[in-house]
Structure 1
Amino acid sequence: MALMQCDFYSETLGVSASMNVILPQRTTTQIGMSSASSGETRHPVLYLLHGLSDDHTIWLRRTSIERYVAPLGIAVVMPAVGRSFYANMKQGYDYWDFISEELPALARSFFPISEKREDNFVAGLSMGGYGAFKLALSHPDRFAAAASLSGALDARFFIQEHEEEAARIFGSMSEFNGSGNDLFHLAKLRAAEGSAKLPQLYQCCGTEDFLYEDNVKFRDEALRLGLPLTYDEGPGEHEWGYWDHHIQRVLEWLPLAK
């Protein structure tokens, strides 16, 4: 595998931005790791999103993500978005436009990754789980699958517990409800469309996680709406041991072309 730290200028944000990128490399002599490449000119790609207190380096620092993806021939793009909740902030930067439009286009211009829907996936933890489902439910035409690990799927809890910060991101609760930032609203829209091309969704959360009840709430609504959801729960808290284990399950679940 090849690992790259990419620092670049974002026209959308008006500032320099960063992402880490793992690219497949076919090797036969590397000791202790099996690496593969599909042989295609453009690799399948997983956009892997960080949580509220983290940045683009965190998945590499807290898990063995590079080793886990090595046999799969898949690229991984890990961007930094601060504490933005992957939103166009009411007072701040347009991180939603950045993550949904500019970043994928730039990544494809810099690196040999595919733009085909069947080759594009997104996953994340906590705030990043919210961002992953937001991307997939907002753009089902672009993503074949999305995974949320201990996701902050009902952002109302954040608005209630961090009122001032949340107001700078989302505005008021009334502005949030029924908007493009409301995953429950997006889920209803996608279900009402009855699209045959809904992205596959994977959701997991530990039963001791402080976000467990919100995850159960989203699970129940998604299943009621008939969304294609795979749900996984078991013992676990909001911590990296859980996420390191479950990102491996996510990679096994991804509908990668054989």
Structure 2
Amino acid sequence: MALIQCDFYSEVLGLSTSMNVILPQETQTQIGMEGKASSGKHPTLYLLHGLSDDHSIWLRRTSIERYAAAYGIAIVMPNAHRSFYTDMKEGGQYFTFMTEELPRLAESFFPLSTLREDRFVAGLSMGGYGAFKLGMSLPHRYAAAASLSGATDLKHMYNVRAQGDPVWKAEVYRMFGTLEEMQGGPNDLFHLATELAKLKSADIPKLYQCCGTEDFLYEGNIEFRDHVRKLGLELTYEEERGTHEWGYWDMKIQNVLEWLPIRQQQRV
């Protein structure tokens, strides 16, 4: 695998930012692993970080490079700061950045496939929310979306955490506005799932969700899982004992890579 730190300027955000990129490399003589790569442009997983982290965290806390090597898939890990991957009410236009500018730039810098069937998104916590938001908002762009311990139910942030923490309450408002503004709109995963269910099954991305049963986001994940299932959407759901920590995510990202519908002709 080739590992690249790419520093670039974002016109959408109006600032310099970064992404880490892992590119497949076919190898036979590396000790402890064998790399695979396609002969053409690579299928790509956009892998999103959580609220307190940045673009470097998946490399620092997991073995994502080693895991990805077996699948011949590129991994793009962008920096989205504390944005919840949304066009903020008072702040940067991070959803526009993530869905329009970032893939356009990444696909111009690196040999990444531009086909919907080769483009996937996953993330943890805030990034799990972001992965579902991107995948469900733009099903024509992503073949699969995976949420690991995702912040799937934003009502909890308003009704529980924000009520006892004025600093967090102000940050949530800068991201989403009021609860009334958030609900039923483009930042509400429950609403996005309802709209997604109206599409033909062939146009709906595959969905994967997992959460540890001791995670503080577990209840919200169960509510979202049940909502999706009531809509009749196909969802791969996994749970076991676990909290909001990297040992769990290092384990589950391996499941995500195995679950992704990576086209067989790409594995050479």
Where on the TM-score scale, by shorter chain, does this alignment land: which range? over 0.9
For the residues of structure 2 that align with 1:19 and 1:36, how far apart are their CA atoms?
22
Tell me by how many angstroms 1:194 deviates: 3.8
3-state SS, counterpart of residue 193 of structure 1: coil
Moved over 4 A (4+): none
Tell me which residue corresponds to 1:117: 116
Tell me which residue corresponds to 1:36: 36
- Give, as a single letter, the amino acid of the residue that structure 2 aligns with 1:49: L
Equivalences for 1:41-52 in 2 at 5 Å? 42-52=41-51
**Cα deviations by residue, 1:20-78 (Å, 9 ceiling, x for unpaired):** 000001112222221010112x1000000000000000000000000000011100000
Tell me which residue corresponds to 2:76: 77
Q: Is the 8 A contact 1:199 1:228 kept in 2?
A: no
Q: Which of 203, 208, 225 matches 2:209?
A: 203
For the residues of structure 2 that align with 1:6 and 1:117, how far apart are their CA atoms?
23
3-state SS, counterpart of residue 6 of structure 2: strand
For the residues of structure 2 that align with 1:43 and 1:159, how far apart are their CA atoms?
40
How does the TM-score come out when normalised to structure 1?
A: 0.98
3-state SS, counterpart of residue 113 of structure 1: coil
Aligned residues: 257
Q: Which of 230, 233, 236 matches 1:230?
A: 236
For the residues of structure 1 that align with 2:214 and 2:201, how far apart are their CA atoms?
35
Tell me which residue corresponds to 1:167: 173
Percent same amino acid at aligned positions? 65
Tell me which residue corresponds to 2:9: 9
3-state SS, counterpart of residue 21 of structure 1: strand
For the residues of structure 2 that align with 1:206 and 1:198, how far apart are their CA atoms?
26
Q: Which of 168, 171, 178 matches 2:184?
A: 178
Equivalences for 1:49-198 in 2 at 5 Å? 49-160=48-159, 161=161, 162-198=168-204
3-state SS, counterpart of residue 232 of structure 1: strand
For the residues of structure 1 that align with 2:33 and 2:183, how far apart are their CA atoms?
47
Please report the RMSD computed on the Cα atoms of aligned residues, expressed in angstroms: 0.9
Tell me by how many angstroms 1:226 deviates: 1.0
For the residues of structure 1 that align with 2:99 and 2:191, how far apart are their CA atoms?
18
For the residues of structure 1 that align with 2:186 and 2:115, how far apart are their CA atoms?
24
- Give, as a single letter, the amino acid of the residue that structure 1 aligns with 2:22: I
Highest relative contact order (Cα 8 Å, sep 6+), 1 or 2? 2
How does the TM-score come out when normalised to structure 2?
A: 0.94
Tell me which residue corresponds to 1:20: 20
Equivalences for 1:242-257 in 2 at 5 Å? 242-257=248-263
Gaps of 5+ in 1: none
Gaps of 5+ in 2: 162-167
